[in-house]
Structure 1
Amino acid sequence: MSYYPGQGYHNQGGYNQGPPPPQQYGGYPPQQYPPPQQGYGGYSNSPQPQYGNYGGPPPQPQYGGSYQQPPPPQQQQYGGYSQPPPQHYAPQSHLPSGQNVYQQHNLRQGAPPPPPSGMQSFGNGAPNHYSFQYSNCTGKRKALLIGINYFGQKGQLRGCINDVKNMSNYLMEAFGYKREDMVTLTDDQQNPMSQPTKQNILRAMHWLVKDAQPNDSLFFHYSGHGGQTEDLDGDEEDGYDEVIYPVDFRQAGHIVDDEMHFIMVKNL
Structure 2
Amino acid sequence: METKKKMLATLVGCNYAGTRYELRGCINDVLAMRDVLVARFSFAPADITVLTDDRGAAVLPTGANIKRALAEMVARAASGDGLFFHYSGHGTLIPPVKPHHHGHGRDARERDEAIVPCDFNLITGNVHRNG
> TM-score with structure 1 length normalisation?
0.43
Match of 1:183 in 2: 49
Provide the C-alpha distance between the structure 1 equivalents of 2:23 and 2:55, rounded to a whole number of angstroms: 16
Name which of 95, 100, 103 aligns with 1:230: 95
1:258 is matched with 126
Identity across matched positions, percent: 41
Alignment of 1:22-37 (within 5 A): none
Q: 1:189 to 1:177 in 2, by over 3 A?
A: farther
Unaligned runs of 5+ in 2: none
State the structure with more CA Rg. Answer: 1
Say which structure is richer in strand. Answer: 2
Task: Say yes or no: does 1:212 pair with 2:80.
Answer: no
Q: 1 CA distance for matches of 2:47 and 2:8?
A: 5
Query: Is the CA contact 1:145–1:184 (under 8 Å) kept in the aligned structure 2?
Result: yes
Q: Deviations over 1:145-193 (max 9, x none)?
A: 000000001121111111101100000001111111111001114244x
Paired with 1:203 and 1:176, the residues of 2 have a C-alpha distance of: 24
| Paired amino acid for 2:124 | V
Which of the numbers 153, 157, 167 marks the counterpart of 2:33?
A: 167
Mapped to 1, the partners of 2:43 and 2:34 lie a distance apart of 8
Displacement of 1:232 in angstroms is 3.3
Paired residue for 2:65?
A: 200
Between the aligned partners of 2:88 and 2:10, the Cα distance in structure 1 is: 12
Query: For 1:232 and 1:179, how far apart are their aligned partners in 2?
Result: 35
Q: Deviations over 1:201-252 (max 9, x none)?
A: 1110101111422220111000000001111311275531111111011xxx
Indicate how the Cα distance of structure 1 residues 189 and 209 shifts in structure 2: closer, same or farther if over 3 A, else same: farther
- Please report the TM-score for the alignment, with normalisation by the length of structure 2: 0.84
Q: Is contact 2:8–2:77 with CA below 8 Å preserved after alignment?
A: no
Equivalenced residues, count: 122
State how far apart, in whole Å, the 1-side matches of 2:30 and 2:83 are. 16
CA contact (8 A) 1:189 1:195 kept: no
RMSD of aligned alpha carbons: 1.9
The answer for the alignment partner of 1:47 in structure 2 is none
